[in-house]
Amino acid sequence: MFALTSRRVLRRVATFVGLVLLLGSVTGPAGPMTAAATSARGAPTITKVPWGTVGGQPVDLYTLTNTKGMTVKITNYGGIIQSIDVPDRRGRRANVALGFDNLDDYVTSSPYFGCITGRYANRIANGRFTLDGVTYQLAQNNGVNHLHGGNVGFDKRVWAARTAKRRDSVALVLTYTSPAGEENYPGTLTTKVTYTLTDRNEIRMDYHATTDAATIVNLTNHTYFNLAGEGSGTIEDHVLELEARRYTPVDATLIPTGEIAPVARTPFDFTRPTAIGQRIRDAHPQIVIGQGYDHNFVLDRRPEDESLKLAARVSEPRGGRVLEILTTEPGIQFYSGNFLDGTLVGTSGRVYRQTDGFALETQHYPDSPNQPNFPSTVLRPGEEYETTTIYRFSAGHR
Ligand code: GLA
């Protein structure tokens, strides 16, 4: 997974060049603003306001605005994308990310809205895995299983933040060092997630981590989308296409059985654009277990291929908004918001009910540490965990 293939080296060189350019215009507290950062008209902007405290630590809400009508708000609490304002085909803007209008609701009640999930996104069976002969017992915070990093995962940490600007993008660079033994994971994990809003209406997420002892890592972003606007009702009419001819069926506790099954002739076949709701009431045993879709899809790529590729495309027929997801990851969890049960009041004061949002979480497969036939999620000292995912928005014409 983290082998230095030639493709990977090239990508890393490209990232390095990008980083140098980025650092050239970093707006540190005392650092000089570049011409690009200050050029008034037509430049993307990034600003922040205080948003409260968590455990005595101050939390901010950052607003990233590009020159193409898109505004994204991100807090350094959990690296949560709080809102994504994006125009539809008539230029009308709406917030397409489910969430809350205040920090307290994120702290007390969030079903992982918009956050960075880690150290291990999704489930680990019985919260247990063995690495180099040592067995680690993690929190069983989802029935008998471990979910999204445990009781206090990366979604509940206050991340250090700095901002960066380029001519055609703005970025929020979040860092968090997870001490060895935190949530019982081995190794100090030094983590960096860079959110970049580009003038191509993309949110680019670059994930980077290193460790001082062998560990496991699987990071993703857990935004729930509704492309008609959060609080506007169900996403069952959204049309989904996945670049995946196979998926990983699960047991009754949503742990993969280990099988990698074809989607052909099942409700899991999204290889052609299909409305999410079309087969969501099918009596297929996997739909019954998930109470809808809550499954990892195996992206169509060779195991050693870590290039950035299209994984998913979702379109909303009424307003015409389109979301494309590109990733370097081998899998994507499609979750149709099955556990939204009308108990949460969202950002615009509307209640979220089942299927009012969907998540598409780019990732390594759930429970990989216990599944020898899945791509490895082990990270060792000297290796670099490096993945990229892009949410690209556009608005189609009829
Ligand atoms: C993931 C899981 C779901 C659910 C959500 C968060 O998508 O696969 O089962 O736990 O996160 O509510």
Give the confidence band of 304 by pLDDT, cuts at 50, 70, 90.
Answer: confident
Identify each DSSP E strand in 256-381 by its residue range. Answer: 261-262, 274-275, 294-298, 309-315, 321-327, 331-335, 344-345, 351-352, 358-363, 378-379
Distance CA(228)–CA(237), nearest Å, equals 10
Give the confidence band of 24 by pLDDT, cuts at 50, 70, 90.
Answer: very low
What's phi and psi for 137, nearest 5 deg? -105, 115
Closest ligand 1 atom to Cα of 359: 7
Cα–Cα separations (whole angstroms), residue 339 to 221, 342, 357: 18, 9, 10
pLDDT digits (tens, 9 = 90+) for 282-296: 999 999 999 999 999
Percent of the chain whose predicted confidence (pLDDT) is above 90: 88
Give the per-residue pLDDT at 42. Answer: 86
Give the per-residue pLDDT at 13. Answer: 33
Verify whether ligand 1 is closer than 6 Å to residue 111 (CB atom): yes
Residue nearest to atom 6 of ligand 1 (CA): 111
Verify whether ligand 1 is closer than 6 Å to residue 359 (CB atom): yes
Distance CA(64)–CA(73), nearest Å, equals 6
* 247 closest CA partner among 303, 298, 286, 294: 298
Give the per-residue pLDDT at 359. Answer: 99
304 counts as catalytic: no
Residue 261, both tokens: 């099954």
Distance CA(369)–CA(149), nearest Å, equals 13
pLDDT digits (tens, 9 = 90+) for 356-382: 999 999 999 999 999 999 999 999 999
Question: 25-34, 268-277, 312-321: which has the minimum mean pLDDT?
Answer: 25-34
Q: For residue 270, count CB atoms less than 10 angstroms from its CB and return exposed for 0-12, middle for 13-18, buried for 19 or more.
A: buried
Q: Which of 182, 183, 361, 386 is catalytic?
A: 361
